[in-house]
Amino acid sequence: MIRIVELDGPLIKKAAKLVSEIFPSRDLPERLSLWVYKHRDKRLVKMLANPFASLLKYWVAVNNNGDVCGICGLYTYKNDEHEAVWLGWFCVDQNLRGQGIGQKLIEYSIAEARKYNKKYFRLYTSTDPNEAAAQSLYEKYGFKVVKQEKKRSCTIIFRELEL
């Protein structure tokens, strides 16, 4: 049985390991997001993170053994926080895909995003093969492509869902 719980102390290391496996080429600021989350109550971290995000929350899908099977989160950017909340670190363990875990996480994320009374729920993804499985899930839940940016190794795809 899979349940979704708020990401906390003992699970952060497991969640970070999963994120590193699924997204090996993410840049340093993205990688630091879970470290910032872990230390979010510390004054210096609050000061450093404040220009970038005013909201940062994560949840994990865990099984009965306490293994992290997937992760999702919400954050805001200062430049569009008046209208949007963003999906953060959405992924499922590659060995557990196809079992409905991603569907549970995306439904949970959408429900949480609606609580913030924003106009849009946004995300970015890419054409990286590790992210291919999520594309049809985003389409299924109504996330429309609004922009694409070509990078060296892939294309970054920006999507949004009107809430």
Sorted by sequence, the CB contacts under 8 Å of residue 160 that are 6+ apart come out as 84, 120, 121, 122, 123, 143, 144, 146
Strand order in the sheet with 3-6: 3-6, 56-62, 68-75, 84-92, 120-126, 155-162, 144-150
Helix ranges (DSSP H) in 115-154: 132-140
pLDDT at 107: 97
Angle at 128 between CA 124 and CA 134, to 5 degrees: 60
Confidence of residue 112 (pLDDT cuts 50, 70, 90): very high
Per-residue pLDDT tens over the stretch 30-87:
666 766 666 666 665 555 555 556 778 899 999 999 999 999 999 898 889 899 999 9
CA dist 8 and 158 (Å) reads 28
Taking domain 3-162, whether its CATH number is 3.40.30.10 is answered by no
Least confident of 14-23, 82-91, 141-150: 14-23
Tell me how far apart the alpha carbons of residues 144 and 88 are, in angstroms, rounded to a whole number: 17
Average pLDDT over residues 118-126: 95
Say if residue 29's pLDDT is above 90.
no
Q: How much is the mean pLDDT over the chain?
A: 87
